[in-house]
Amino acid sequence: MKTLDRMCPQFNFDNSFARTFEGFFARCQATPAVAPKLLQLNHGLALELGLDPAALDSEAGLAVFSGNAIPEGADPLAQAYAGHQFGGYAPQLGDGRALLLGEVLDTRKQRRDIQLKGSGPTPFSRGGDGKAALGPVLREYLVGEGMHALGIPTTRALAAVITGERIYRERPLPGAILTRVAASHIRVGTFQFFAARGGVHKVRELADYAIARHYPDIADAKNPYLAFFEAVIDAQAALVAGWMNIGFIHGVMNTDNMTISGETIDYGPCAFMDTYSPGTVFSSIDAQGRYAYGNQPAILSWNLTRLAETLIPIVDSHKDRAVELLTDTLKCIQPLYEAHWLAGMRSKIGLKTEEPGDLDLINDLLWVMKDGQTDFTLVFRRLSQALRGDSNAVRCLFEQSGAFDVWARRWRKRLDQEGGSPEARAQAMDRVNPIYIPRNHKVEEALAAAVDRQDMAPFYQMIGVLSHPFDEAAGCEAYTEPAPATGIRYRTFCGT
């Protein structure tokens, strides 16, 4: 341990945002943590980032993750951004409880941000304490890493520490810091801020930067800014389709929580839908259901329209022409989203080819699931068991199995058309329909154990289970089942 302590973690920072956008961020420092302790280090991600896990798993690493030491080459700053929150425009948001340490090039030469979340106030804190409580930090760790294992683009968690201080929410809670890794933290809201504060010149600079960082292949397009918009649309449409395919509800799809890279960001009041119902909302602050499960595709379009507005002056020097080009592109969002969604759904029910009736077949299953009040994840997972000769595993999930039986006959007819081995098909389905997701009650259990009883064991166990969401393993049964019915509606809170 002592030798490890003396090893200083080498990050090899290369801070392009700090070099490029002076005036659109605030340099600041973390508030020192009084008695920090490392709870979790993500060894696999450290290796991916070209970092030495042994050097990070040390006193020196802890000092970095708790904001007590600035690693060599870091240039800590809080980014400015704006955003529409629940439809209303907030001109000045920004990193109020986050600090970008800097950027590193990972082993695939991809640029990644390394950010502390919960490390104390910044000039953008607007009266907040800039801190994070242990529960939300562990939630972001669990759900984010779970999403990554599910194949959904997402920011990642490199480390979680407790700071040793109490922070005050409805009650005193242990303070914590998450080290977050992202392809970048540029959001739709960053474009909104640059458009409002920097004008055309600054938006163009930000777009050029985002193209170089995220979509370098389009730099030579005839109209690179329109091509950029198309690329963001495609990345975000694929992302939201991915969420819908696994039953994920982000919960707070404000424009400041939508990345340009197409990664899921900000795991606040997020949750996984259990019983299938498009109107599902878990967030305590989403009284109108704006960000309900079934509204997410519409909000995708709404948010991207806000991005389009910022790009008008750079897409064409004639405003009318720019609006026309962007409007035509906006019309592609829903068809693109539907194509991504349908491709995902086809593979969920074991289809490899495309037939015109597939959309109806899939929608009809969803209707039967809605009527039958079935668990979203379990139905899809157990379809493969029907192909292995056990139809009852899925049938028994439906209150009235008759409607499911009618659907299943159509499904089997469609599968027969395609041919192929049922076992190979079942295996392919098991690679896209998870058996283990971060189920809400299991997440809550792990958080409560950590916060109320200082027992990290359920958290560590859950991290392990969520790392293999598609592979059934002995001893993990408790993670497959929906919460026992208590009659109490599950609620999530904005994790600050």
Catalytic positions are: 256
User: Is residue 285 at the binding interface for ligand AMP, with CB under 6 A as the rule?
Assistant: no
Instruction: Tell me the site size for Mg ion, rule CB under 5 A.
Output: 2
The least distance separating Mg ion from the CB of residue 265, rounded to whole angstroms, comes to 7
Residues forming a β-bridge with 264: 154
User: Where are any strands of DSSP class E within 50-171?
Assistant: 77-79, 83-85, 88-90, 98-105, 111-117, 132-133, 156-168
Closest CA to 408 of 393, 427, 424, 428: 393
257 binds Mg ion (CB under 5 A): yes
Among 9, 36, 61, 130, binds ligand AMP (CB under 6 A): 130
Residues linked to residue 84 through DSSP beta bridges, in sequence order: 89
> What are the backbone dihedrals phi and psi of residue 461, each rounded to the nearest 5 degrees, phi first?
-65, -40
- The whole-angstrom separation of Cα 2 and Cα 7 is 9
CB of 296 to Mg ion, least distance (A): 16
Could you say which of ligand AMP, Mg ion, none residue 262 binds, taking C-beta under 5 to 8 angstroms by partner kind? none
Residue 168 main-chain phi, psi, to 5 deg:
-115, 115
Site for ligand AMP in 202-261 (CB under 6 A): 252, 256-257
The reply on whether position 115 binds Mg ion by CB under 5 A is no
What are the Cα distances from residue 175, in Å, to 96, 186, 446, 473, 492? 16, 26, 17, 34, 19
- In the list 9, 136, 268, 434, the residue contacting ligand AMP (rule: CB under 6 A) is 268
Q: Which of residues 257 and 261 has its CB atom nearest to Mg ion in the complex?
A: 257
Q: What span, in angstroms and rounded, lies between the C-alpha atoms of 226 and 84?
A: 22
Distance CA 39, CA 272 (A): 25
Residues 70-109 that bind ligand AMP (CB under 6 A): 93-97
Could you give the 3-state DSSP secondary structure of residue 492?
strand
Q: How far is the CB of 437 from ligand AMP (least distance, A)?
A: 22
**Closer CB to ligand AMP, residue 78 or residue 104?**
78
* 165 binds ligand AMP per the rule CB under 6 A: no
Q: Is the dihedral of CA 53, 58, 59, 65 positive or negative?
A: positive
**Complex with ligand AMP: residue 87 or 402, whichever CB lies closer:** 87
For Mg ion, the closer CB: 266 or 430: 266
Residue 199 and residue 203: Cα distance in Å, rounded?
Answer: 6
Residue 429 C-beta: closest distance to ligand AMP, Å: 35
CB of 85 to ligand AMP, least distance (A): 7
Pairing of strands 98-105, 111-117: antiparallel
Q: Mask 171-200, x = binds ligand AMP (CB under 6 A)?
A: ------------------------------
Q: How many CB atoms lie within 10 A of CB 380?
A: 26
Residues at the contact surface with Mg ion, assessed by CB under 5 A: 257, 266
Residues at the contact surface with ligand AMP, assessed by CB under 6 A: 93-97, 124-125, 128-131, 252, 256-257, 266, 268, 494, 496
